[in-house]
Structure formats: structure tokens, C-alpha cells
Amino acid sequence: MICHLASPGGVSGGSLMVDTSTVALDDTRRASGPITSVRALTCGQAEQHEEHRYGSRLPQLWWVFFGRSWVPLPLQCFLIEHRDGLVLFDTGIDPAILSDKRYIKEAIGRFLLHRIFRFHLSEADRIDHVLAGAGVAAGDIRTAVISHLHFDHVGGIAQIPQADLLVSAREWAILSEPHPEREWILREHIEIPSARWRQISFEPSDDPLFEGFDGIHDVAGDGTMILLPTPGHTAGSMSLLIRQDGWDPILLVGDLTYEAGLLEQDILPGTGDRETLLASFAKVRRLRQRLPGLAIVASHDFTAGDALSRATHRPSQNSGEMAS
């Protein structure tokens, strides 16, 4: 969800206990294949500039400093129950970003943060607490797919030291660039001793379903969770295609778009590489043509929970609704 930090000049499974009041189903309605459930988890709330979410012809720094229209921004990650273990798609934000004045080391980052976002966070929004609220122990997470390295997607990695953290090799390479912090990729909160990072590369596929994508990566080796490169928000951003018998296919797109409907209309956000975003948008739309019923689920879309419920034929999650 990040606005680039430009200067003024210019990276083993366990059991799952579910909250029966919201997501439990009887055995006749549970999925029969490798994946039992996919859920959106709320990891806090925020606000962003309208221009950030829906795009603007104005220069980025103009709306950062002078924009007056703020819109709500849900902070979400996703929990997948696979027979080989629990998988997270992203890990949320660390609430310490508000309480620790040195969380962002660079002065310009601290200066710009609250001009780009208004966060509404508490300690309960840290991923281990979010998981506990969903009836899951953080220590039971086996794998976390990191769609990209922005701080609101990697903020929980310290709470799951046992998990493999999958990141695209292209995204990891950003850490070797001179100033990754200008892209809101904070090395000090990524390269931590406990983190089990695993860079993944995309392999060519002769499956016509994936024509146009620069390769695929099969997370579990059974075809149920396929990673696809969808750059644009960052250079190494990736999406996760979930396929399960009896469900509509699901594509978790991270921050490729802020709302599924915006992708359909080629409405770009106010940040990211324009041409690369348009190319990724087009690839996702072509994928949807080949996969009728594909649910496109964005990490900061308030309708994410409902989209998952429809795709998996479960009661509505209402995961991202902002409290009044």
C-alpha cells in the first residue's frame, strides 16, 4: 500500500482451531481437497489519501503534502489451511511503528509516514495476537508467502520464526540497492536473525493457463497454490493463485490493486510503476478469462472477506469492515 519515499528533489505445520461462531462448517460443507479454508485476517485499520488509492494526475509529493481527502484502508493478511500445514499470505504490520519512534531509522521516513498514512493500531493487531483471535497459534504457521517487502506486509515475521518466508528473488534484490528505504522497504525489519527467508524463482510453464506470466512457482507441489509474478507495485511483487475442488479459483494479488474493481477498469493507484502495473493488470484479466469465476482479492480491499466467502461457499466473513 506504499507511496514511494522520494526525496524533495526528485524476503512445521500444525493443527487449526477455528472460531465456530464465524467460520466453522459441518463436514458436508468442508472442502474435500488439500485446502480446507482461506480466511482474511484484519491486522488493523488505517487511512490513505484518496489520490493514493485511486490515482491522480498530480505529482505524488503534491497530494502527500496538500491532499485533504482521506479514505479508509483495511490492513489484512490471509490464512490458508493446507493439509501440509498452515500458510500465511503476508504477515501484517507491527504496531510498534506507532509506539517506537525509532522504528523507521531515516528522519525523512519518520517525517513522511504520517503525511502518507493515518494508522489506527493497537497491540492486538500484531500477527500473533490476530492469529490467536482466530484460534491459531503463531507457532503453528509453517509457511508465509510475502507478496512484497513493504513494512505493512512483513511486520509479523518476528512472531513466526519457525516459518519459511517465501519472497521472490527479484523483490529480495531490492535490499541490495542503495536506498531500499525510499521504497518503504526497511532492511532492519527484514534481515532479522530469526527470519527463515527463502528466495524463490519462477519456472517456465507449458500450461496455457499461465501464458504471458514470467513463470510460476508451485508452493506445495500439488497445484493448489501457485505463485505468479505480478510486478508494478514493487519490482518483485507476486500473487497467489489458489485452486481447490468445489471452490471458485482465488487470486490473492497483494497490493497490485487496492480494489478488484479498479483492476478491471485499469484505474491505477497513485504509486508504483505505471507501465508495469498496466501489464500486470492485463495478465490478471487474461487469467480471469481462462479461469471463469476467478475471485481477485486485494489485501486492502474491504470486500476481501466477502469475496473469499463467495469463492469458498462459506458464510460471509465481513473481515475488513471498519468500526464506526
Asked whether the predicted pLDDT for residue 134 surpasses 50, the reply is yes
Asked whether the predicted pLDDT for residue 229 surpasses 60, the reply is yes
- Residue-wise pLDDT for 71-116, tens only, equals 999 999 999 999 999 999 999 999 999 999 999 999 999 999 999 9
**Mean pLDDT over the full length of the chain:** 89
The position carrying cell 487496492 is 258
Contact 121, 98 (CB under 8 A): yes
| Rounded CA separation 244/20 (Å) | 22
- Residue-wise pLDDT for 260-278, tens only, equals 999 999 999 999 999 999 9
Asked whether the predicted pLDDT for residue 279 surpasses 50, the reply is yes
Indicate the pLDDT class of residue 316, thresholds 50, 70 and 90. Answer: low
The position carrying cell 509457511 is 143
Comparing CA positions, the residue from 230, 229, 225 lying closest to residue 241 is 225
Indicate the pLDDT class of residue 318, thresholds 50, 70 and 90. Answer: low
Comparing CA positions, the residue from 239, 261, 95, 235 lying closest to residue 175 is 235
Q: What is the pLDDT of residue 31?
A: 55
| Rounded CA separation 253/322 (Å) | 21
Indicate the pLDDT class of residue 23, thresholds 50, 70 and 90. Answer: very low
- Residue-wise pLDDT for 158-216, tens only, equals 999 999 999 999 999 999 999 999 999 999 999 999 999 999 999 999 999 999 999 99
Asked whether the predicted pLDDT for residue 4 surpasses 60, the reply is no
Asked whether the predicted pLDDT for residue 135 surpasses 50, the reply is yes
The position carrying cell 492469529 is 131
Contact 16, 140 (CB under 8 A): yes
Asked whether the predicted pLDDT for residue 2 surpasses 80, the reply is no
Indicate the pLDDT class of residue 317, thresholds 50, 70 and 90. Answer: low
Q: What is the pLDDT of residue 314?
A: 76
Q: What is the pLDDT of residue 285?
A: 97
Average pLDDT rounded to a whole number, residues 40-61? 96
| Rounded CA separation 235/232 (Å) | 6
Q: First CA to last CA across the chain, in angstroms?
A: 22
Letter for the amino acid at 218? D
Average pLDDT rounded to a whole number, residues 43-55? 97
| Rounded CA separation 143/164 (Å) | 5
Angle, CA 68 vertex, CA 67 and CA 71 arms, to 5° = 100
| Rounded CA separation 190/184 (Å) | 11
Q: Which residue has the higher pLDDT, 140 or 26?
A: 140
| Rounded CA separation 146/168 (Å) | 8
Asked whether the predicted pLDDT for residue 126 surpasses 80, the reply is yes
Distance of CA 245 to the CA centre of its chain: 24
Buried b (16+ CB within 10 A) or exposed e, 229-249: bbbbbbbbbbbbbbbbeebbb
Q: What is the CATH number of domain 36-312?
A: 3.60.15.10
Q: Which residue has the higher pLDDT, 285 or 24?
A: 285
Read off the DSSP letter of residue 259.
S
| Rounded CA separation 257/264 (Å) | 10
Q: What is the pLDDT of residue 18?
A: 34
Q: What is the pLDDT of residue 27?
A: 34
Angle, CA 13 vertex, CA 12 and CA 18 arms, to 5° = 150
Q: What is the pLDDT of residue 315?
A: 72
